[in-house]
């Protein structure tokens, strides 16, 4: 820090810049401006806060920037107390041509592996909880490096200890549901107990309201599902000759079945949870431990008890495909084989495949499903045979 240039003014605060194309980070001075805010003109109560002039460090094109707060060091299980650190970066780095940040990669080195592609320049600053900036310190630098190591870390080590084993720190128990490919080719158990660290993507704030199992919510034990990134490795696996798709798993699809009676897909999982599923991590939505026996029992209940009730409530209806041919050579058998290889048995086209000239639609272009079941495949008078509006 002794090599840093003198402070230009009292309003300047020390920050750390991780440059995009240089091997090492360096200290910089950032001008912080004090502002006053009040809810309305008649309100005498005013709130003071500071803004940091970081734009010149992120690029002269004045990019939109994103900010990530750091209030806890998950690697060392330490809260930062009365301060927090902020990382500011180019928010559109995925599409503005920014390259991998060499300064971050070289700073981490032996501390661990960076699990996120940080691109473009990144600025680290120190901030008090009341919105005032302070000079960043070497101790803060250690917390920033630990954050780079733990952020987006998706490894989930298997728990081999006894059932009463307690996870350390803020790590929780979860369950890995292995896909058919993992079961058949690697001999993996259907359910594997795993440790899920605090910074795992499934536990991040971005995942709080996403991929919650609708059925588990009705059972008052909401579960969150998260797919492992290697799901595509199971697609079209060489030598696979089982009557199922290697990347599929019925339990995961059933957990995501729609339970809203007002939804047209009631009783079915969304398409994104019907194909290319792969291995799936399941954790409790309330961030407490989930045990294998609990998940196994729930999946058994859904598969053996609830699934038949879904089918009975559908008045004995079975899946059927209405297809407009683009190729004159495709056959009903080929389409059925395609579905059987990718979806669970309850989604097979038991009622067959019917080739039609056009899909019936209304004035807005929405498919009129009741006409399909009644055999009326003509479109509304305002639509042509291919579904487009008449001119």
Does residue 153 or residue 135 have the better pLDDT? 135
Per the CB < 8 A criterion, the answer to whether 373 and 318 are in contact is no
Indicate if the pLDDT at residue 136 is higher than 70. yes
Q: What's the pLDDT at 347?
A: 74
Lookup: tokens for 223: 């579960």
Q: What's the pLDDT at 142?
A: 92
| Model confidence pLDDT, tens digit, residues 22-36 | 888 999 999 999 887
Q: How far apart are CA 1 and CA 278, in angstroms?
A: 49
Say what percent of the chain tops pLDDT 70.
Answer: 81
Query: What average pLDDT does the structure give for the chain?
Result: 81
Among 348, 152, 145, 163, CA closest to 243: 348
Q: How far apart are CA 391 and CA 381, in angstroms?
A: 12
CATH architecture observed for domain 321-374: 2-Layer Sandwich (3.30)
Write the DSSP string, 43-112.
----EEEEEE--HHHH-TT---EEEEEE-EETTTTEE-TTEEEEEEEETTTTTS---B-HHHHHHHGGG-
Triad 148, 149, 154: Cα angle to 5°: 110
Give the domain ranges of the chain.
12-150, 172-313, 321-374
Q: What's the pLDDT at 388?
A: 43
Q: What's the pLDDT at 353?
A: 87
Rounded to two decimals, the pTM is: 0.56
Q: What's the pLDDT at 87?
A: 94
| Model confidence pLDDT, tens digit, residues 165-207 | 666 667 899 999 988 888 887 788 899 999 888 878 888 755 5
Kindly give the pairing relationship between strand 65-70 and strand 47-52.
unpaired
Q: What's the pLDDT at 236?
A: 61
Q: How far apart are CA 182 and CA 179, in angstroms?
A: 5
Chain Cα centroid distance, residue 224: 11
Cα 163 to Cα 85, 102, 160, 173, 281, distances in angstroms = 38, 43, 9, 11, 19
| Model confidence pLDDT, tens digit, residues 77-95 | 788 888 899 999 988 876 7
Q: What's the pLDDT at 390?
A: 36
Chain Cα centroid distance, residue 161: 29
Q: How far apart are CA 281 and CA 306, in angstroms?
A: 22
Q: What's the pLDDT at 121?
A: 93
Taking the chain, what is the end-to-end CA distance rounded to the nearest angstrom?
73
Instruction: Kindly indicate the confidence band of residue 17, based on its pLDDT and cuts at 50, 70 and 90.
Output: very high
């Amino acid at each position: 820090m002794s090599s840093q240039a003198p402070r230009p003014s009292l309003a300047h605060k020390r920050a750390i810049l991780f440059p995009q194309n240089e091997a090492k980070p360096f200290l910089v001075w950032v001008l912080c401006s004090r502002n006053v805010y009040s809810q309305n003109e008649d309100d005498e109560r005013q709130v003071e806060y500071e803004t940091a002039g970081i734009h010149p460090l992120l690029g002269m094109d004045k990019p939109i920037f994103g900010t990530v707060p750091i209030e806890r060091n998950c690697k060392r299980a330490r809260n930062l107390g009365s301060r927090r650190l902020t990382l500011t970066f180019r928010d559109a780095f995925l599409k503005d041509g920014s390259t991998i940040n060499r300064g971050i990669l070289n700073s981490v080195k032996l501390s661990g592996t960076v699990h996120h592609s940080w691109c473009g320049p990144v600025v680290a600053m120190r901030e008090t909880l009341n919105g005032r900036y302070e000079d960043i310190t070497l101790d803060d630098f250690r917390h920033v490096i630990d954050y780079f190591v733990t952020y987006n870390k998706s490894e989930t080590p298997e728990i081999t200890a006894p059932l009463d084993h307690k996870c350390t720190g803020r790590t929780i128990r979860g369950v890995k549901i292995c896909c058919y490919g993992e079961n058949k080719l690697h001999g993996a158990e259907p359910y594997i107990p795993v440790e899920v660290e605090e910074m795992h993507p499934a536990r991040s704030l971005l995942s709080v309201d996403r991929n919650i199992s609708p059925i588990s919510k009705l059972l008052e034990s909401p579960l969150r599902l998260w797919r492992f990134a290697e799901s595509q490795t199971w697609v079209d696996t060489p030598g696979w000759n089982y009557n199922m798709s290697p990347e599929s798993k019925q339990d995961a699809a059933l957990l995501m079945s729609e339970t809203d009676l007002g939804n047209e897909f009631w009783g079915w999982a969304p398409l994104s949870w019907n194909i290319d599923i792969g291995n799936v991590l399941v954790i409790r939505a309330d961030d407490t431990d989930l045990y294998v026996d609990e998940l196994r029992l729930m999946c058994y209940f859904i598969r053996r008890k609830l699934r038949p009730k879904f089918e009975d409530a559908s008045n004995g209806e079975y899946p059927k495909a209405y297809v407009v041919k683009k190729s004159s050579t495709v056959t009903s058998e080929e389409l059925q084989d395609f579905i059987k290889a990718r979806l669970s048995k309850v989604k097979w086209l038991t009622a067959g495949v019917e080739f039609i000239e056009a899909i019936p639609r209304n004035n807005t272009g929405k498919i009129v499903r009741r006409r399909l079941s009644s055999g009326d495949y003509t479109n509304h008078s305002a639509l042509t045979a291919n579904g487009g509006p008449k001119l």
